[in-house]
Amino acid sequence: MISEGSSEEEINSDEPTNLEIYSKEVTQTLERAFSEGHTVEIASLELNTLRMASNTTFHDTRAVVIPTILSQINIEKSMANIKDVRN
């Protein structure tokens, strides 16, 4: 349903939504935190500031943070470490 004042062109545009922009900024913030070795406290402060500035929810933040953190796990390296512990 198109609300008054909205054109169909605006609804169908390829412009990213606020949530898409926020998700990209969260991902970039986390990638920078990992590459620069930020503490958890500093990364958390940056993410919380970004969340408040973007007026988004904790749920929106979690939906981006968890997959981004999991993508940083090197499974091959982790498996080698597990083998070392077992031996």
pLDDT, one tens digit per residue, over 5-46 is 555 555 556 888 999 999 999 999 999 999 999 999 999 999
Report the percent of the chain where pLDDT is more than 70.
74
Q: Is the pTM of this model over 0.85?
A: no
pLDDT of amino acid 7: 52
Mean pLDDT for all residues in the chain: 83
Our CA angle for 71, 53, 49, nearest 5°, is 60
Residue extents of the structural domains in the chain: 16-86
